[in-house]
Structure 1
Amino acid sequence: MMRGLRQVAVAVRSPEGEIVLHKEVLTPWRKRHPILALPLIRGSVTLVESMAIGFRMLNVSANIATGEKPEKGESWFAIAIGLLLFVLLFKVLPATAFKFLQPFVPNILFLNAIEGGIRMSIFLLYLGGISLLPDVRRLFEYHGAEHQVIHCYESGKELTPENAKAFPSAHPRCGTSFLLVTLVLSILIFALLGSTPTILDRVVRQLLLLPVVAGFSYELIRLAGKGGREKNLIGRIALFLTIPGIWLQGLTTRKAQDDQLEVAIASLHGALEDPADLIVP
């Protein structure tokens, strides 16, 4: 899947071996409501919008690949299960550990760091575990193909598998980097909560602070992207801070094969094409 300024495209290799391209014209929420484009606000807005588009395009790609339509409500059930697991693994479990260790660790800042470390460990173990599955490894190869093709496009070279394969599979503006930056910043921002009376209270407060954390993370990733292109001081610093995210992409991306790069190139062409002649359903 590739997203341009005005449209999104998803390319899928069908069972017959052909590349099927699906495109949709987009009007970003920030364009409809200018207040959503303000710094810090735009981060959480972009995150929610990207997730909504991603789930929709995932359904489209599954339909093309299998030739079947999922039952109504099936996608929403999967989303609900995913959100529930997120809250349990990344909020409830670390918060429970926080309350359990509180009598033994009097320093609240250090206790917050332990809680953040537990959250980070769960995240890394999850990524490491699923990366061992063959289907997920192939998915990560397609993830790498997206990045290699974007690198190729940003370098000004012709979009061909031969040119794209020379580029790395990691990219500083990747969502993986965003997730890692969010996890690190959450340790600092959640430290402001201090001690909380109950586990539920702690989980609720952290969920309420998530838009703030996402806002700061988005701005940092945005600066890192500018730093890579414009070579300014602030951007270079932001780019340096996202280096751990690049390392983490060693888990979530793989060097792609030529057939995968062909799919990514088709998707990028679709996302960048002038959408004036397209009809939005």
Structure 2
Amino acid sequence: MKRVDIGGQAVIEGVMMKNKNTYAVAIRKPDKEIIVDKKEYTSFSEKVKFFKLPLFRGMLAFIESLVIGMKILTFSAEFFEVEEEDKEKEPDKFDKFLSKIFGDKLDNVIVGFSVVMSIILAIGLFVLLPLGISQLVKDILPSENLINLVDGVIRVVIFLSYLKIISLMKDIQRVFQYHGAEHKSINCLESEEELTVENIRKQSRQHKRCGTNFLLIVVLMSILVLMIIDVRTFWLRFAVRLLCLPLIAGLSYEIIRWLGRSESKLANIIAKPGLLLQNLTTREPDDSQIEVAIASLKGVLVTDEEDHKECIG
């Protein structure tokens, strides 16, 4: 099986694929036309080589994936969130105020604000809430390690419950179908089969390098790391969790990289829970959704062909 370093993400009525410094977003517009937006993205690690080192590259990759994710979600939402009657309305005073202050950089400001808010909400839901609940029962637990374990178990329960709840939403179910199309198309490419709807339809919708796997590994890795650190007070425990997040993200990234390259029994065992969880975060796509995934994937494969031509020319 061919190994590729292409990753992707499902968005509103579309799929994003990223290959090296290029990413392409394919969107099925309301008029059924497929539009492909292709952009170049230079990682900060190209400027600061320090972030190419193991662990540190994972910390940077996590942040950059959030930034790109917010950009493409904003891009895809533009085609669906505005009704025709709203398009004719004049921007309100607040919109004009923001445009006057930030000018052409307004979109970047909005994306940055969205990333910061997402991180704050994630910390509140997956760090502060489990910590608070575990503190309520600390007096009946015999050791600090057990408190940390309960904290971690609560975090897992919240994570799984969150995925289950959003999977019941109709709009999210369609995003999960595109998520399935993304995985199937990458699996088809790795199987070295032609990228056709028929070939992709028969592929698995599970993939070891999926973001679902990464998030699950982050949650489980946090249990192991935080059980080692023995602190007593609530705010010190909270501070330790925040400080350890970059380390945990870096470790989880290295594990995901290894899982994507290894077919060993150990790798398959470690990947199994995440693959099972993808039964929740992916759905079987229809042919029109597969067509969108093909358009996005071909958008980044062109770069490889051009690079190859330049090399042999």
Question: In structure 1, how many angstroms separate the alpha carbons of the residues matched to 2:56 and 2:200?
Answer: 34
Query: In the alignment, is the contact (CA less than 8 A) between 1:143 and 1:254 conserved in 2?
Result: yes
Question: In structure 1, how many angstroms separate the alpha carbons of the residues matched to 2:294 and 2:205?
Answer: 14
Question: Is 1:209 the equivalent of 2:224?
Answer: no
Give the TM-score normalised by the residue count of structure 1.
Answer: 0.90
Give how far 1:74 is off: 5.1
Indicate the residue corresponding to 2:286 in structure 1.
257
Question: In structure 2, how many angstroms separate the alpha carbons of the residues matched to 1:139 and 1:126?
Answer: 16
Q: Give CA deviations for 1:43-63 in whole Å, capped at 9, x if unaligned.
A: 111111111111111111122
Indicate the residue corresponding to 1:220 in structure 2.
255
Question: In structure 1, how many angstroms separate the alpha carbons of the residues matched to 2:41 and 2:110?
Answer: 24
Question: In structure 1, how many angstroms separate the alpha carbons of the residues matched to 2:53 and 2:290?
Answer: 35
Give how far 1:31 is off: 2.6
Give how far 1:94 is off: 1.1
Give how far 1:111 is off: 1.9
Question: Is 1:8 the equivalent of 2:23?
Answer: yes
Aligned positions of 1:94-243 closer than 5 A:
94-198=130-234, 200-228=235-263, 233=264, 236-243=265-272
Question: In structure 2, how many angstroms separate the alpha carbons of the residues matched to 1:104 and 1:34?
Answer: 48
Query: In the alignment, is the contact (CA less than 8 A) between 1:220 and 1:238 conserved in 2?
Result: no
SS in 1 for 2:23: strand
Give the TM-score normalised by the residue count of structure 2.
Answer: 0.81
Indicate the residue corresponding to 2:296 in structure 1.
267
2:47 is matched by which residue type in structure 1?
Answer: R
2:239 is matched by which residue type in structure 1?
Answer: V
C-alpha change, 1:150 and 1:217, in structure 2 (3 Å) is same
Question: In structure 2, how many angstroms separate the alpha carbons of the residues matched to 1:219 and 1:65?
Answer: 37
Query: In the alignment, is the contact (CA less than 8 A) between 2:180 and 2:206 conserved in 1?
Result: yes
SS in 1 for 2:78: helix
Query: In the alignment, is the contact (CA less than 8 A) between 1:181 and 1:242 conserved in 2?
Result: no
Query: In the alignment, is the contact (CA less than 8 A) between 1:152 and 1:164 conserved in 2?
Result: yes
Question: In structure 1, how many angstroms separate the alpha carbons of the residues matched to 2:241 and 2:267?
Answer: 25
Query: In the alignment, is the contact (CA less than 8 A) between 2:126 and 2:158 conserved in 1?
Result: yes
Question: In structure 1, how many angstroms separate the alpha carbons of the residues matched to 2:68 and 2:170?
Answer: 26
- State percent identity of aligned pairs: 39
Give how far 1:148 is off: 0.3
Give how far 1:82 is off: 2.7
2:124 is matched by which residue type in structure 1?
Answer: L
SS in 2 for 1:255: coil
**What are structure 1's unaligned runs of at least 5 residues?**
none
The count of corresponding residues between Structure 1 and Structure 2 is 269
Tell which structure's C-alpha radius of gyration is larger.
2
Question: In structure 1, how many angstroms separate the alpha carbons of the residues matched to 2:33 and 2:142?
Answer: 61
Question: In structure 1, how many angstroms separate the alpha carbons of the residues matched to 2:26 and 2:230?
Answer: 47
Aligned positions of 1:23-62 closer than 5 A:
23-62=38-77
Query: In the alignment, is the contact (CA less than 8 A) between 1:94 and 1:115 conserved in 2?
Result: yes
Query: In the alignment, is the contact (CA less than 8 A) between 2:30 and 2:80 conserved in 1?
Result: yes
Indicate the residue corresponding to 1:244 in structure 2.
273
Question: In structure 2, how many angstroms separate the alpha carbons of the residues matched to 1:113 and 1:167?
Answer: 38
SS in 1 for 2:299: helix
Q: What RMSD, in angstroms, separates the aligned Cα atoms of the two structures?
A: 2.0
C-alpha change, 1:12 and 1:28, in structure 2 (3 Å) is same
Give how far 1:66 is off: 4.8
Question: In structure 1, how many angstroms separate the alpha carbons of the residues matched to 2:56 and 2:112?
Answer: 26
Q: Give CA deviations for 1:223-270 in whole Å, capped at 9, x if unaligned.
A: 111014xxxx4xx42332121000111111011110000001100111
Query: In the alignment, is the contact (CA less than 8 A) between 2:38 and 2:299 conserved in 1?
Result: yes
1:8 is matched by which residue type in structure 2?
Answer: Y
